[in-house]
Amino acid sequence: MTYVSNFIIPAVLFLVVAHGLLAKVKIYESFLKGASDGLKITVEIMPTLIGLMVGVGILRASGFFALLEQALAPVAALFGFPAQILTLLAVKLFSSSAATGLVLDVFATYGPDSYPGLITSIVMSCTETVFYTMSVYFLAAKVTKTRYTLAGALLSTVAGTMMGIFLARLA
């Protein structure tokens, strides 16, 4: 399996170039146009990214997440859910990199093979940075009517979290 995984990305690149050659597409010019468009989008979404990262940093440094954790601990205990993970979930909705810092805190405190560590690992892979993703991609695509996107994304986060709890209990 290790050998297969080493060849997947080069194989995909080769297939893309081969398809472009067969379709008689100017491959290099298309690449440059895509790279240029990507840089423009990066510049457009940079203020949103900075705002989200600063907001999460302020909330974390102010102790808001610790207060949230203490307030929700009794509710979390009813479901057999470590309260520390609630803070992680709240942060993950806005920033995956900030959530990764909390993951490291959970791993350092409880260990990666502990019940909180298992839930953390599963939840981090089963949930999405909802507000980050919506703000960045909707801004880039100039979407103004989000309709049911937020409700669906939050529902999928709840489903991923519930499945994370279930799978961690099986382990």
Cβ atoms of residues 161 and 126 within 8 Å: yes
Choice among 75-79, 157-161, 164-168 with the minimum mean pLDDT: 75-79
Q: What is the pLDDT of residues 9-24, one digit of tens each?
A: 899 999 999 999 999 9
Mean pLDDT of all residues in the chain? 86
Please tell me the predicted confidence (pLDDT) of residue 1: 65
What's the mean pLDDT in 134-161?
86
Percent of the residues in the chain that have a pLDDT greater than 70, as a whole number = 99
Q: What is the pLDDT of residues 103-134, one digit of tens each?
A: 888 899 889 999 889 999 998 988 888 888 88
Predicted confidence at residue 66, as pLDDT, reads 82
Q: Is it the case that residue 56 has pLDDT exceeding 80?
A: no
Entry pTM: 0.65
CA distance 50 to 45: 9
Please determine, for residue 5, whether its predicted confidence score (pLDDT) is greater than 80: no
**What was the pLDDT predicted at 50?**
82
User: Does the pLDDT value for residue 163 go beyond 70?
Assistant: yes
